[in-house]
Amino acid sequence: MSQFDVIVIGGGPGGYVAAIRAAHLGAKVALVEKEKLGGTCLNWGCIPTKALVKSAALWREIQHAGDFGIEISGAQVNYSQVVARKDQVVSTLVMGIEALMKKNKIIVYSALGKVMESGKVVLQKEDNSEETIQAAKIIIATGSMPARLPIPGLDLPGVINSDDALKLTEIPDSMLVIGGGVIGMEFASIFSAFGTKVTVVEMLPSILPMVDEELTKRFRPLLKKEGIEVLTSAKVKEVEQIGAQLVTMVETGKGEVEIITTKVLVAAGRVPVMHGIGAEQLGLELTGRAIKVNEKMETNVPGIYAIGDVVGGAMLAHVASFEGIVAAENALGQQSVMDYRVVPSCVFCHPEIASVGLSEQEVKEQGIDYVVSKFPFTANGKALAIGEAVGTVKLIARKDTGAIIGGHIMGPHATDLIAEVGLAIKAGITGQQMAETIHAHPTLAETLMEAAHGLVDKPLHLA
């Protein structure tokens, strides 16, 4: 029976990062993955969708090339090539992770890892043979899978989930998206850019519930301009097939409506994967369908840690990676804790949306005395030069100390710009300090400096 210091179950962005960190600390590490290294994020989520986002963005730019004095004729979308490029990006990154495993001397087992007792993992291989390995510390990083909704007709051909959407070889004529969260809105943006008529149905009163309410209100008209119809406070009752079409019955505040499309995409969230984890046998404490952990990523069972989507909370790749680092360090005797105050949330739609820290609603609910400053991309030279001047930057700071506690951006490269706000919150930077930091000109980052000036006095380049 092979003996390790740490066994990690799941090779996603939480698991493989945990394995690398444990190896860096001198541990003998085993990583168990039943499918592909990189997990959902790399193979069926973050990375492939961003490859599609780039193709969609390029197609938008080509359609507006005339605005920049560039005349293009005969351009068309070769979607099979779009998909091939997406697959190549994924393949390259998977090979990169495989190389990291070898470099760090991490033993990778291609198998389903089953944990039925502390300290031991049973490997169920593709040929149905089994092998048992053991370690004093086990890190569970089994991830999540698309949620299944109790709606009649979701098993019909043409009804797909986010994994299936990435496998499409042709652009659908029309698509109904069930769920107005990050996954739903990103796919809506992608396929709409390629010419699909998209309708989004969301049960809640607003799409993107994790985004600052003001930005969501500004975003809705932009979606309409893109040709994306959004129905909020609406509930899908049933999906039926009539010929080659899918007919979806949707209950709205104005009564029931029929929406006819060629595809229905179910993008209503994800649920933790517990297959192979003997929660009852181990005595693992759960919170709903997720594994309960403390700030050190420890479960209630000594020697067993859990990270990523399987613990619920913010199901984000970067959160899983950070939790993996914390779990690995604690498994090897360090005293590390998770800090969830600074978790960036990004939506790769058009335009991009990114948030970190507290929203204005949360600040009000917590009774914090605060100041808000906003600066539009229409007043930014770089944004105008690149033809992407739609959007705004919103910063929130404590009124007493001036410390920045929230940042929300809708606009070009918002998902990159948000890192500066995250660092400011983590380091306790004030609006005054950000305003006094020289930002290169002309850059999109100047919008943050201008908004910071607004926290102290007034933005400089805003009439």
Residues known to be catalytic: 441
Pairing of strands 29-33, 2-9: parallel
Residue 406 and residue 369 in contact, taking contact as beta carbons nearer than 8 Å: no
Q: How many CB atoms lie within 10 A of CB 207?
A: 23
Instruction: From 178, 228, 159, 173, select the one nearest 198 (Cα to Cα).
Output: 228
DSSP run (H or E) holding 282: helix 279-282
Q: In what helix (H) or strand (E) does residue 5 lie, and over which residues does it extend?
A: strand 2-9
* Spatial CB neighbours of 78, under 8 Å, sequence gap ≥ 6: none
The CA R_g of the chain, rounded to the nearest whole Å, is 24
Give the length of the chain. 463
What is the C-alpha separation between 146 and 231, in angstroms, rounded? 22
Question: For 281, phi and psi rounded to 5 degrees?
Answer: -65, -40
Rounded to 5 degrees, φ, ψ at 221 are -65, -30
Helix (H, G, I), strand (E, B) or coil at 425: helix
- CA geometry: angle at 297 spanning 32 and 208, to 5°? 90
Burial class (CB in 10 A: 0-12, 13-18, 19+), 103: exposed
**d(Cα 341, Cα 358) in Å, to the nearest integer?**
8
Rounded Cα gap, residues 83 and 118, in angstroms: 43
- DSSP letter string over 293-321? --TT-B-SSTTEEE-GGGG-S---HHHHH
Pairing relationship of beta strands 235-242 and 120-124 according to DSSP bridges: unpaired
